[in-house]
Amino acid sequence: MMRRSLWLVPRFGSCKGLLGSPRLRPQSVLHRHPPRQVLGTSFSSSTDALVARFCPKTTDLKDYALPNASWSPDMMRLYEEFLEKTKDGEWIKLPSFKSNADHIRGLKVPGGLTTTSKEDGRLFTRFLEKEGQGYEYVIFFNPAKKKSVCLFQPGPYLEGAPGFAHGGALVALVDETFSKTAYLSGHGLFTINLNIKFKNLIPVGSVALLNVELEKIEDHKMFLSCIAQSPDQQVLFAKVSGVFLQLELEEEE
Amino acid sequence: MMRRSLWLVPRFGSCKGLLGSPRLRPQSVLHRHPPRQVLGTSFSSSTDALVARFCPKTTDLKDYALPNASWSPDMMRLYEEFLEKTKDGEWIKLPSFKSNADHIRGLKVPGGLTTTSKEDGRLFTRFLEKEGQGYEYVIFFNPAKKKSVCLFQPGPYLEGAPGFAHGGALVALVDETFSKTAYLSGHGLFTINLNIKFKNLIPVGSVALLNVELEKIEDHKMFLSCIAQSPDQQVLFAKVSGVFLQLELEEEE
């Protein structure tokens, strides 16, 4: 029965009935621009509170978004560049734990949806413990501007066309970067829609930069965009738009 | 320089200049329905020839699309059902090797694009050797009707929301099923566009059925659709549309 309770978007596009509508606490304000203003007060947690919880100062959890020996000089250079930008607090380097359950400890989805990962559960984009062969990435988030940059170095296990990253591997990471940006910017919780235009293939081992922005919030939906390109901005890999549903997690009793 | 030669779709939507247009041998016929008729003769290999090459009768390559101990009774039942349908030749069970390079041995992409996988390269949707934790799936293809069914059992390493498959993991497998269907149906080689509407989450360990159809071919572009749902068709997981670019691989000298 659980599966049937998980309607994210009813067939006819209404938001009614989502995850048991009585428990839904939607964003009541509706603005177009700028993104900073769209985040109203109908949610009990601000972006600052969400970020503080998401980035614990002390934790025994492994952070997968830290440099390792597999990172190329390009990847390291960009990482250092963005790390520099975190010093004045404008940008934040997001930690990346093994499972989303680790990121939302003590919280639950309204409507009774489980937030417990299986014992061996892993976030898809962190599927591999071994460094360098799967996803290598780190997300930097700008809380004031509600935007993110993800540095992405695809390993050989992400192959589609021989020697190049699978389109699906890129989409999954864009979805993941959208997801973190939407959550921290205003309780965006579930992907409703993704639209991807592929332009160029990403060679395995190279670096791609995903520039993600929150465009607007309307009717409890957050609209995000992503431009994936080479660090020198000379090669466009893909353009993506996404829509996320806002839903506030509740404190567990 | 290689990256710059990989433009799949120029910025303004024209097909000119794709991968060095002089080498492009596009589909010259243009039909809408039915899909069977859209496959003209401008390509030197028919679907039958493509399928014969794709499904070698003898090979020393491991086929990852065979049942293993991690497959649930639901997955096994559906597999047996579709295997039964292969007996009269209407449906074909596609093999799934470690890399796409194994599927196109002896062929190359016109324009000099490599078809050589790195030594440790793996197809993204076969990233894990260990059974049951990553992707478990098998694709059945109907050559006459140009459609496919993919049986998908997501493992715990595909997690997004705790306990459920990541949206990106589903998209990647839909893209992969599109890719095989487009290739075998008419030399569809590169994903140009994907549009995904998510409806319900797929619980880790359950089975999803991806029904993929080739809708039409226009201007060297193949339009595909996918409905991902529970085996009993009671829960819709996602609807996806995709566009692929036709491009015939060439025999290596």
Nearest to B159 among A2, A99, A169 (CB): A99
Active site annotation includes B175: yes
Note whether B199 contacts A230, CB cutoff 8 Å: no
- Compute the mean pLDDT over every residue in chain A, rounded to the nearest whole number: 84
The pTM for the full model equals 0.86
Choosing from B60, B74, B175, B232, which is the catalytic residue? B175
Higher pLDDT, A51 or B44: A51
Cα–Cα distances in angstroms (integers) from residue B173 to residues A65, A133, B158, in the given order: 25, 19, 11
B200 interaction partners in chain A (CB closer than 8 Å): 3, 6-8
- Residue A238: count of CB within 10 angstroms of its CB: 25
| A163 at B interface, C-beta within 8 A | yes
Whole-number pLDDT of residue A27? 35
Nearest to A172 among B101, B172, B206 (CB): B172
Note whether A161 contacts B115, CB cutoff 8 Å: yes
Give helix then strand counts, H and E, for chain A. 5, 9
State the pLDDT confidence band at B208, using cuts at 50, 70 and 90: very high
State the pLDDT confidence band at B202, using cuts at 50, 70 and 90: very high
**Interhelix angle B47-54/B167-186, nearest 10 degrees:** 120
Window 52-81 of B, Cβ < 8 Å to A: none
Name beta bridge partners: B188: B246
State the pLDDT confidence band at B23, using cuts at 50, 70 and 90: very low
Burial of B115 (0-12, 13-18, 19+ CB in 10 A): buried
Whole-number pLDDT of residue A150? 98
Window 78-117 of B, Cβ < 8 Å to A: 99-101, 104, 109, 113-117
Which of A129, A175, A233 is the best mutation test for B, with the most CBs of B within 10 A? A175
Q: How far is A35 from chain B (nearest CA, A)?
A: 24
Which of A196, A206, A239, A244 is the best mutation test for B, with the most CBs of B within 10 A? A196
The listed range with the strongest mean pLDDT (A217-226, B33-42, B57-66) is A217-226
pLDDT tens column, B138-190:
999 999 999 999 999 999 999 999 999 999 999 999 999 999 999 999 999 99
Note whether A172 contacts B173, CB cutoff 8 Å: no
Confidence check: pLDDT of B194 > 50: yes
Containing H/E element for A231? none
Higher pLDDT, B53 or B117: B53
* Tokens 């478990």 -> residue: B136
Confidence check: pLDDT of B27 > 90: no
Interface contacts A/B by beta carbons within 8 Å: 225
Whole-number pLDDT of residue B70? 98
Of B61, B69, B35, B229, give the one whose Cα is nearest residue B149. B229
Note whether A161 contacts B100, CB cutoff 8 Å: yes
- The token duo for A85 is 């930008």
Cα–Cα distance measured from residue B139 to residue B223, given in angstroms and rounded to the nearest whole number: 19
Note whether A123 contacts B166, CB cutoff 8 Å: yes
Worst-scoring range by mean pLDDT, A60-74, B16-30, B42-56, B83-97? B16-30
pLDDT tens column, A5-36:
344 433 323 333 333 222 223 333 333 334 43
Whole-number pLDDT of residue A15? 33
Q: Is residue B148 a contact partner of residue B92, using CB atoms and an 8 Å limit?
A: no
- The token duo for B33 is 């329905």
Nearest to B199 among A9, A113, A194 (CB): A9
pLDDT tens column, A88-102:
999 999 999 999 888
Choosing from A102, A120, A175, A219, which is the catalytic residue? A175
Nearest to A157 among B9, B127, B203 (CB): B127
Q: Is residue A247 a contact partner of residue A192, using CB atoms and an 8 Å limit?
A: no
Whole-number pLDDT of residue B250? 86
A12 interaction partners in chain B (CB closer than 8 Å): none
pLDDT tens column, A106-159:
888 777 666 566 678 999 999 999 999 999 999 999 999 999 999 999 999 999
- The token duo for A102 is 């680790």
Nearest to B168 among A2, A101, A171 (CB): A171
* Tokens 């939302």 -> residue: A104
Task: Quote the ipTM score.
Answer: 0.86
B193 interaction partners in chain A (CB closer than 8 Å): 195-198
High-pLDDT (> 70) share of chain B, %: 80
Question: In sequence order, which ranges of B40-156 are alpha helices (DSSP H)?
Answer: 47-54, 73-85, 100-103
